[in-house]
Amino acid sequence: MDIVSAPTAGAPPSLRDAVYTRLRTEILNGQVDPRERLTEPKLSKWFEVSRTPVREALSRLLSDGLIERTDFGYAVVVPSLAELRDLYELRVTLELRGVDRIIENPELGYDTDALSAELARWHELRAEPPEPDPSFVVLDERFHTALSRAAGNTRLTEALVAVNEKVRAVRMYDFVEHERIGITIAEHIEILELAIAGRLPEARTALHQHVGESLAVVMERAARALSRMALAG
């Protein structure tokens, strides 16, 4: 790690925030094994800092709901299948609400410039598809966040980002096959083109199909992703 050592008298805000941000990022990106024992001594050595900034970072991550207390210290929270079902359902609700609010109110509209910029990125990905990799989930989340933000309700987008962070560690294992990558790219492009063209009912249908239009589909995806995560571990 390239973070400098902390002063013995306590952690300055910059160091405290650096440890928290770095550890949070690594947890969200799946770089911390859910089975990893997270203890103050281990993390102090890992980050080359005193225990004070580590203790404060762990406290914040505990409040964020990203880690939990265990008999040996802390561990990354892995949602149960029931929790994943609830989170996936919430994700679907938030996704669809973005387009619904525009359909319901003629005075509202998508930010088509933002959607066009996102569409251009996905056209590039279609031209040169990336290799299957769990990190593809970050690109997938960017699409959904961009679509939500372009709908104009900041609070909806913030809620969607929060839900995505809670399921990212599991969802990332949904992108380990070439076919899944190709389908995702094609569906993102279809949704964006429909939204830009103002064909909102069709865009909503395509989005609903994409994120899961039934509880059975949502549960199947949650179970599959959780299973793949366990196998990867």
> Per residue in 17-39, pLDDT tens?
999 999 988 887 777 877 789 99
Note the pLDDT of residue 5.
Answer: 36
DSSP secondary structure letters along the chain: --PPPPPTT---HHHHHHHHHHHHHHHHTT-S-TT--B-HHHHHHHHTS-HHHHHHHHHHHHHHTSEEEETTEEEE----HHHHHHHHHHHHHHHHHHHHHHHH-TT----HHHHHHHHHHHHHHHHSPPPP-TTHHHHHHHHHHHHHHHTT-HHHHHHHHHHHHHHHHHHGGG--SHHHHHHHHHHHHHHHHHHHTT-HHHHHHHHHHHH-SSHHHHHHHHHHHHHHHHHH-
pLDDT for res 141: 93
For the stretch 190-206, pLDDT in tens is 999 999 999 999 999 99
pLDDT for position 140: 94
pLDDT band at 180; cut points 50, 70, 90: confident
CATH of domain 81-232: 1.20.120.530
Decide which of 168 and 53 is more confident: 53
Residue-wise pLDDT tens digits, 66-123? 889 998 899 888 778 888 888 888 999 999 999 999 999 989 999 999 999 999 999 9
- List the chain domain ranges: 13-76, 81-232
Give the CATH fold of the 13-76 domain: Arc Repressor Mutant, subunit A (1.10.10)
